Structure 1
Amino acid sequence: MKHTLFARLAKDRAGNFGIMTAAMLPVLLAVGGVAVDLTQAMDQKNQLQALADGATLAAASAMAAKGTMTTAEAQKLGTDMYIAQKIEALKNSGLSAEALAAEEAKLRANTQTLVTSSGNSTTAASYEVRMKSSYDVPLSGLTSLLGFQTARVSVESVAASGREGNALSMYLALDESGSMADDTNTVNATAPTKPGWVYGPYQCGNKNSKTCEGWHTGEVPNYMTKMASLKAAAGVMFAELEKADSNHVLIRVGADSYDDQTKAQQSIQWGTSLVDSYVKKLPEPPSGGTDASGALTNALNALKNANATEKTAHDGKGNTNFDRYIVFMTDGEMTGNSGTWNSTIDAKVRDICLNAKSDGLTEAAKLKLKNGQQLTEEEMAKGIKIYTIAFMAPDRGKKLLNYCSSGPEYYYEPTNMTTLVESFGEIARKAAQTGTRLTN
């Protein structure tokens, strides 16, 4: 009887599915957790990669822009930026200050930034910033059933930059007309106020015995003039060019200023000291109308291929090739010695700009320019490239400088002192060909 009962029980399979399900349930849940955690880990890896790329690019750019930054400074900059961005992201997850500090310590321990440089930082140099970092992504409770508490993700980023030592000759055509005496909206940091007339209440009467209201002497904001802003911006440009060529074997610069008359020019010379002194001596306050045709003609004559002076000078330094640039700046429209726009002068300036941009180009490229078509960088490479700066200029001034520029990337329209300074600095860096790129 017992034997028969046990035999029947052994053959019964009715509850096997329930038993197997109960036994496998933790494993199934853990596998599901693994899938979720793997997706989260990949998201974290992508985020870290973006942070690392941004940090290495910033460090490489800083080395190329500054020129004198040490590898240790660049390494610290890259690491600090990478970690700061990650910690900022973790703040939104509700971690305590102690937990955030622990995460930062682990990140620093698991992040290595290596910076290398080659060449001469004053002429031609290249920089590489390489970063490797690992981070432990916490896993969910389901995955921990399999015995895993964290998943380590690793990223690597490499960015390169360079000061390419570009040989060039540059000529500045700068506005010193009467409107350059106007104020900008930037307060002079060294002397923020000055005596002037203000409207409002003031103490009046015998021994200031009562309060009156009206115009009276007082302190008013001391704004930087356009001319003072130009001098500061040009100084930044010259400093950038000096960084690129402190040995004065690559870069030659000259300048001419104008109102309604063309002023005595500073001929193109090696380095920036002479042209810097020239700009610093521009009159304050300036006066006169606006006619850039003479200064631009001097720029074209100095740089054109028919004048062998620049080629001879660069050949003497071993520069087999060099770029030619005009920097044309105005805050107004072409008026001559009047107060109204002069279409004849405007047209004359446009012709000079067209001749400059065409100098040295192929016939096909010249025809494209004449027809108002934009050239590629390759097509315009052999011509004179023109950067234009319309500083707080009216519409006719903007249209003229837009036409004269070698393209959208060569046209600037600053509206205050800060953006004027930025424009001059960027032009210098572009001309000196400082570049940064990701290489990973």
Structure 2
Amino acid sequence: MMAWQNFSRLLNDRSGNFGMMTAILLPVLLGAAGVALDLTNMMVSKTQLQEAADSAALAASTALASGEAADEAAARELAKQFFLGQASNTMGADAASALAETLDIDIKTTATATGKKFQVQVGSNYDLALTPLMGVLGQGSMNIATSGTSTSGTEKKANALSLYLVLDRSGSMGDNTNSKVQKCVVIYGQNVCWMVTQTKMEALKDATGKLLAELDKVDPDKKLVRTGAVSYNEVMQSPSPLAWGTSAALTYVNALPASGYTNSGEAVETAYTSLANSMENTYHKNKNGDEDPSKYIVFMTDGENNISGADNKTLKACKNAKDAGMEVYAIAFMAPTAGQKLLSQCASTPAHYFQPEDANTLIEAFKAIGQKAAKSATRLTS
């Protein structure tokens, strides 16, 4: 047989095709199986890590908005621990701990006109080990990158309020306190100062100024706060009716003299009826949209009622105010026992009752009341 005939027979012989095709395709088949398996693992792992990053970012931003995280450093640590807890369930504690230490946690805090805005971004990079099947194609690992972002913030919510001052201007308010203040005048271009004893009325005017200044801080545009004032000795004096801002009430108080006896009944009743008037809510609704403003009575005396029926009338007005949801603050300033008893009964709670025995403590009490009222006017919400 000729050599060329033998070669022709070899070319036409198909008995070894399967083995050759298997040898050629086996690496491809193994690689394809590896790709399918590793792609499945990669998608599952990416989903799990993405959920951990999203949860960590949300936890950190929420904690910043609620105040649970005091600062950005605390928020970063919280995000890291939250990510670790989530990832440990899927990739094991050791691997999750190592990855948590390499997290890219970016926090941006932005001050706004009404509060703060927090944006937290948590990024991770993880090298997923591939199956040996992928080794056929020369791949030993695959990088999985995830990034989760969450935004939250705080907002100052404005709450309207109306506050009525009920102040004793009887003769004993002209008495001296045990406090001294500096008084200065200009003489021939020189500032000459000396210490003088402060009267109760002078201390009251200073204290009122401090209280109203706290309200001015939260309502510079005079759209949230309405104040009024009324004084009394043996009879109620003409009041300064409720008005926007604090200037009218402050001017009224600064002009008060001290004279006469003590009868608080009609003055407290006037404060209650003024605040309870439905028009007061209407004024707020039209100005700031608040149909249910907070309402306060600040009732102060340095003595005791010496007009028949004054105590009962006072207590009835205080009860009506409290039943209507108003907060009644009562200040017995260097007052006798009977005056202390009356005001403690008028106060909404023991925390609403003050018993200052000197000018400085009176001023501190009024300022504290102003701060509490101001705090109710501006609340942070997340």
Q: Which has the larger radius of gyration?
A: 2
* Structure 1 segments unaligned to the other structure (5+ residues): 1-56, 61-113, 129-159, 193-219, 337-341, 360-382
The residue type paired with residue 414 of structure 1 is: P
SS of residue matched to 1:319: coil
Alignment of 1:81-120 (within 5 A): 117-120=111-114
User: Which of the numbers 202, 210, 219 marks the counterpart of 1:245?
Assistant: 219
Q: Show the counterpart of 2:363.
A: 421
Contact 2:265 2:312 in 1 (8 A): no
Q: TM-score, normalised by structure 2?
A: 0.56
Contact 2:210 2:366 in 1 (8 A): yes
Structure 1 residue 358 corresponds to structure 2 residue 323: yes
Structure 1 residue 312 corresponds to structure 2 residue 282: yes
Distance in 2 of aligned mates of 1:229 and 1:118: 39
SS of residue matched to 1:287: coil
Structure 1 residue 394 corresponds to structure 2 residue 366: no
Distance 1:167 1:188, change over 3 A: same
Distance in 1 of aligned mates of 2:282 and 2:211: 25
Distance 1:436 1:322, change over 3 A: closer
Distance in 1 of aligned mates of 2:328 and 2:116: 27
Distance in 1 of aligned mates of 2:199 and 2:160: 34
Alignment of 1:73-152 (within 5 A): 117-120=111-114, 125=115
Contact 1:164 1:433 in 2 (8 A): no
Contact 2:282 2:291 in 1 (8 A): no
Distance in 2 of aligned mates of 1:397 and 1:293: 13
Distance in 1 of aligned mates of 2:196 and 2:333: 20
Distance in 2 of aligned mates of 1:127 and 1:414: 42
Q: Show the counterpart of 2:209.
A: 235
Alignment of 1:7-18 (within 5 A): none
Distance 1:435 1:266, change over 3 A: closer
Q: Show the counterpart of 2:306.
A: 335
SS of residue matched to 1:433: helix
* Structure 2 segments unaligned to the other structure (5+ residues): 1-66, 71-107, 119-152, 186-193
Q: Show the counterpart of 1:180.
A: 173
Contact 2:183 2:196 in 1 (8 A): no
SS of residue matched to 2:172: helix
Task: State how many pairs are aligned.
Answer: 236
The residue type paired with residue 202 of structure 2 is: A
Distance in 1 of aligned mates of 2:201 and 2:314: 22
Shift of 1:222: 2.5
Distance in 2 of aligned mates of 1:419 and 1:126: 36
Alignment of 1:247-262 (within 5 A): 247-262=221-236
Contact 1:164 1:432 in 2 (8 A): no
User: Which of the numbers 162, 171, 176 marks the counterpart of 1:169?
Assistant: 162
Distance in 2 of aligned mates of 1:415 and 1:239: 23
Distance in 2 of aligned mates of 1:353 and 1:320: 23
Q: TM-score, normalised by structure 1?
A: 0.49
The residue type paired with residue 311 of structure 1 is: N
RMSD over aligned CA atoms reads 3.3
Contact 2:330 2:347 in 1 (8 A): yes
1:18-41 Cα offsets, whole Å, 9 max, x none, are xxxxxxxxxxxxxxxxxxxxxxxx
Distance in 2 of aligned mates of 1:426 and 1:400: 21
Contact 2:343 2:353 in 1 (8 A): yes
Structure 1 residue 303 corresponds to structure 2 residue 280: no
Shift of 1:117: 4.3
1:308-367 Cα offsets, whole Å, 9 max, x none, are 21111011121233111111000111113xxxxx5x3212211111111112xxxxxxxx
User: Which of the numbers 176, 183, 186 marks the counterpart of 1:190?
Assistant: 183
Identity %: 42
Distance in 2 of aligned mates of 1:282 and 1:425: 20
Distance in 1 of aligned mates of 2:178 and 2:314: 29
